[in-house]
Structure 1
Amino acid sequence: MTKNEPERMVVTRIFDAPRELVWKAWTDPKYVMQWWGPKGFTAPVCQIDFRVGGKFLFCMRTPDGQVGWNGGEYHEIVLHEKIVSSMYFSDEEGNRLEPAQYGSEHESIDAYDVVLFEDLGNGRTKLTFIGNETMQNAIQSGQFEGWKETLDKVAVVVAGMTQAK
């Protein structure tokens, strides 16, 4: 980030679980379906082709039953360390839609999200999500709070995986 570039949205979470387990929760559709979306939202569909150039397709259902689709592509994967991807509004087939078609005022941009997985030792992992939104826009739009709630749900999934081991 340059001096004049606005601060990007960053959300972090510490998990009492090994990095490999947190990575699995983030990349395995079986687990992603349990945490995708903020509090009260569900994910009835999650398709992941987890490889560089691979695509993903997630459906998010609001508490009142409305559905929204997100498609995306993986651009960089460093096993157990880093995932770089792009995400966009899509239809149920994964075809890209302009944000205005979803009622969003955001412009369609090809920006990347970055997820970092840091081994803190003693079976603890720090996950850092760096979103493509500026921190100011993310706070104003509710996206920052939504990602914090989403990471709360990831923590519940990871805790369940830890207990199941």
Structure 2
Amino acid sequence: MKRWMGPKDYTTPVSEMDVRVGGRYFNCMRSPEGVDYCSTGEFLEVDPPERLVMTDAFADEDGNVVQAAHYEGMDANFPLELLIAVQLQDIGDRTRLTLTHSKLGTASESDRHDMQQGWSESFDKLEKELAGA
């Protein structure tokens, strides 16, 4: 995760994961300007090697759940907690990864677009990492 998570020009200096049902994770992505954006959540389903389901929330530097507005420029109406499902499917010599966010409720169209773009850029970085670039 440290090598590929986050939009194109972001790094991920912190990625801690206890991947088991009831386990927690804590990640911090760093913007090119040096601003850290942290998130935390709990693993609800762990079905290796096919499926992960986890909660997802913004967090402060200590891992405490905070409103998105904790971070300058973030929408105060953004939901406190989202749900992420990751499905991995064997398709021969490749693996299809499908990530679904739910419980988006009050998230604006702009926020939804930014989330999609951020994940797309993360997966571009993951693809390069897996290719050995």
TM class by shorter chain equals 0.7 to 0.9
Q: 1:119 aligns with which of 86, 90, 97?
A: 90
Higher helix share: 1
Q: Alignment length, in residue pairs? A: 129
1:110 aligns with 2:67: no
Q: Which amino acid aligns with 1:114?
A: A
Which structure 2 residues correspond to residues 71-150 of structure 1 after superposition, within 5 A? 71-103=40-72, 104-105=74-75, 106-121=77-92, 123-132=93-102, 133=104, 137=109, 141-150=113-122
Q: Which of these two proteins has the greater Rg computed from alpha carbons?
A: 1
Q: Secondary structure at the match of 1:148?
A: helix
What is the alpha-carbon distance in structure 1 between the residues aligned to residue 84 and residue 32 of structure 2?
Answer: 26
Q: 1:45 and 1:81 mapped to 2: Cα distance?
A: 25
Assess, with a 3 A threshold, how the Cα gap between structure 1 residues 60 and 139 changes in structure 2: closer, same or farther.
Answer: closer
Q: Could you say what the CA RMSD is over the residues aligned between the two structures, in angstroms?
A: 2.2
- CA distance 1:48–1:64, change in 2 (3 Å): same
> Are 2:32 and 1:60 equivalent residues in the alignment?
no
Structure 2 residue matching 1:33: 3-state secondary structure: coil
Of 31, 39, 54, the residue aligned with 2:8 is 39
Is the CA contact (8 Å cut-off) linking 1:46 and 1:58 kept in structure 2?
Answer: yes
**CA shift in 2, pair 1:136/1:95, >3 Å:** closer
SS at match of 2:28: strand
Q: Distance in 1 between matches of 2:32 and 2:52?
A: 29
5+ residue gaps in structure 1?
1-31
Q: Cα distance, 1:139 vs. partner?
A: 6.9
Q: After TM superposition, which residue ranges in structure 1, 4 or more long, deviate above 2 angstroms? A: 106-111, 132-141
TM-score by length of 2: 0.86
C-alpha contact 1:138 1:144 (8 A) present in aligned 2 = no
1:92 to 1:81, Cα distance in 2 relative to 1, 3 A: same
Partner of 2:17: 48
Alpha-carbon distance between aligned partners in 2 of 1:138 and 1:52, rounded to the nearest angstrom: 32
Q: Secondary structure at the match of 2:91?
A: strand
Q: Which has the higher contact order (CA 8 A, sep 6+)?
A: 1
The answer on 1:153 being equivalent to 2:122 is no
Code of the residue aligned with 1:148 in structure 2: it is S
Q: What residue ranges of structure 2 are gaps of 5+ in the alignment?
A: none
